Amino acid sequence: MSERTDSRGSNIRDTSRRRFLKTSAAAAAAVSLGAPVVRTRGARNNPNANTFHLKYAPHFGMFKHHAGDDPIDQLQFMADEGFTAMEDNGMMGRPIEVQEKVAAEMSRLNMTMGVFVAYAEFQKATLVTDDPEVREMIVQRMHEAVEVAKRVNAKWCTVVPGTYHQGMEWDYQTANVVENLKWASGVLEPAGVIMVLESLNWYANHPGLFLHKIPQAYQICQAVGSPSCKILDDLYHMQISEGNLIPNMDTAWEEIAYFQVGDNPGRKEPGTGEINYNNVFEHIHKKGFTGVIGMEHGNSQPGKAGERAVINAYREADDFSKSGLI
């Protein structure tokens, strides 16, 4: 996409995302080259794996020291450990044959496909403008996203509208974003695909992006008025941008379709920072959320020990027994 950031995050300044997508691309290459698959487990065969209350979704590369580099083996490992979903930011940039292999294995394992990035701009003011070429671009991008979603059985795709325009009043920019997303929704809605708008923090990762808070995303989704335009509430980013996670979640609940998590500071697994994810996950569960919670973070420790620490962290955060919920 020339200078525009694509689904593989070529211009993303957030090093964590670059690392995730780089790992995904390497794993995809292994599948496309027909790398041999050596499995040491059967699906759901780990007697120590319990079912989680929520659909936490790891990403490719998170458990590579246990499962190896092949994405199919990694999916097997995720399922064996009790995870029932997986997300892949870079799915849209993978070869079609790789998408089909991943989708087939996830179907076999009864796993839910989480988000992939359909459009993300981190350096230019795009959707905040009324440029006809930008509108044509986002409509075409959504047509492409629909095809990928069909191929991999995905329901959600991520959209980041770009930076704010320093020479334009903020309210005009908001109106332009709403109009552009109405056009995008017109493509997605007949296909049953939902774009989830991700607000990203200015202070640690993405200074200057237009969309950076949940109330702002809520206003836009209300104005677009489509079931195909909803919110991705990334709790790592929102802890930095605004805090007040649970009250903001409750106020915007009708527009939230997807969550992503990571602790702060550090953007690692729950329990490594300041967010009480046990309380947050319990609250989400009590509200009846049945969607996906993407594990969009790194591992705090290296190697197999670090991967086991991630799994144990989610077991701990997902344990609601102290509250009497189970």
Token pair, residue 230, equals 């909803």
Token pair, residue 206, equals 């993405």
Domain assignment present for 117:
yes
Question: Which phi and psi (to 5°) does residue 232 adopt?
Answer: -100, 110
Find the radius of gyration of the CA atoms of the chain: 19
Please work out, in degrees rounded to the nearest 5, the angle formed at the alpha carbon of residue 91 by the alpha carbons of 58 and 188.
Answer: 110
Please give the Cα distance from 184 to 9 (Å, whole number): 20
Please give the Cα distance from 55 to 326 (Å, whole number): 17
Query: Strand pairing partners for 154?
Result: 113
Determine the 3-state secondary structure of 106 from DSSP: helix
Domain assignment present for 267:
yes
Question: Which phi and psi (to 5°) does residue 20 adopt?
Answer: -60, -50
Range of the domain at 86: 15-320
Q: What per-residue confidence (pLDDT) applies to 45?
A: 60
pLDDT values of the chain reduced to their tens digit, one per residue, 326 residues: 333 334 333 343 344 444 443 444 444 444 443 333 333 344 456 655 678 999 999 999 999 999 999 999 999 999 999 999 999 999 999 999 999 999 999 999 999 999 999 999 999 999 999 999 999 999 999 999 999 999 999 999 999 999 999 999 999 999 999 999 999 999 999 999 999 999 999 999 999 999 999 999 999 999 999 999 999 999 999 999 999 999 999 999 999 999 999 999 999 999 999 999 999 999 999 999 999 999 999 999 999 999 999 999 999 999 998 655 55
Domain assignment present for 263:
yes
The reported pTM is 0.85
> CA-CA distances (angstroms) from residue 190 to 44, 131, 142, 184, 299?
35, 25, 12, 11, 38
Secondary structure element (H or E) that encloses residue 113, with its range:
strand 112-113
Q: What per-residue confidence (pLDDT) applies to 321?
A: 84
Domain assignment present for 6:
no
Domain assignment present for 285:
yes
Q: What per-residue confidence (pLDDT) applies to 51?
A: 84
Q: What per-residue confidence (pLDDT) applies to 87?
A: 98
Q: What per-residue confidence (pLDDT) applies to 194?
A: 98
Please give the Cα distance from 50 to 95 (Å, whole number): 34
The number of folded domains in the chain is 1
Q: From the DSSP assignment, how many helices (H) and strands (E) are in the chain?
A: 11, 9
**Nearest Cα residue to 119 out of 96, 137, 136:** 137
Long-range contacts for 217-221 (Cβ within 8 Å, ≥24 apart)? 217/252, 217/255, 218/251, 218/252, 218/255, 219/174, 220/174, 220/177, 220/178, 220/181, 221/197, 221/255
Residues 263 and 269 sit within 8 Å (Cβ to Cβ): yes
Q: What per-residue confidence (pLDDT) applies to 7?
A: 37
Q: How many residues does the chain have?
A: 326
Domain assignment present for 149:
yes
Domain with 249 in it: what CATH number?
Answer: 3.20.20.150
